Structure 1
Amino acid sequence: MRGARNLPPSAPMTTFTTLVREREMETVRLTIEGMTCSHCQAAVETALRGQAGVQSATVYLQDGSAEVEYDPASVSPPQLTAAVEEEGYAATVA
């Protein structure tokens, strides 16, 4: 490796560490209307998880809601509700 960088064999090796500031994630709960089956649940989960900045999305069919963990620098709650509405379901921030 030293030769690839044109460094003499006696040059000290230095370890470089890149520090990446962790982004603060937020969680939002959405109320979703119109889901009647597990296919509906899966469609909403897929739509939410497909949004940039979404870390996780869990959709609860029984109570018609979703919990989404997301990066607020990448996506907003209105964008999340719009993604659900594009699938044909009504969505609001709970």
Structure 2
Amino acid sequence: MQSITLKVEGMSCNHCVNAVEGAVKKLGATGKVDLNAGLVTVEYDESKVTVDAIKAAIEDQGYDVVS
């Protein structure tokens, strides 16, 4: 398993947390949002999902991945 922490802008409430964590989960990864810091830590199997796919799934929810 690999782990990456992404800076995500636009998250402000529990709905945002659920949207981001749910989008990551659909990819077969596990995401944990730190709302106060604006960070999402994702654990994933690099043989099944790419970082680009994770970023795209978060952005599809309406948030901006900045790193």
Unpaired segments ≥5 residues, structure 1: 1-24
Unpaired segments ≥5 residues, structure 2: none
Under a length normalisation based on structure 1, what TM-score does the superposition of the two structures give? 0.67
> In the comparison of the two structures, how many residue pairs are matched?
67
Structure 2 residue 19 is matched with structure 1 residue 72 = no
Quick one: percent identity of the two aligned structures? 37
CA RMSD, 1 decimal: 1.0
Q: Which has the higher strand share?
A: 2
- After superposition, give the CA deviation of every residue in 1:41-67 in whole Å (9 maximum; x if it has no partner): 111010011113x1x211111111111
Under a length normalisation based on structure 2, what TM-score does the superposition of the two structures give? 0.92
Greater radius of gyration (CA): 1
Q: Which runs of 4+ in 1 moved over 2 A?
A: none
Equivalent position of 1:39 in the other structure: 15
Mapping of residues 12-23 of structure 1, within 5 Å: none
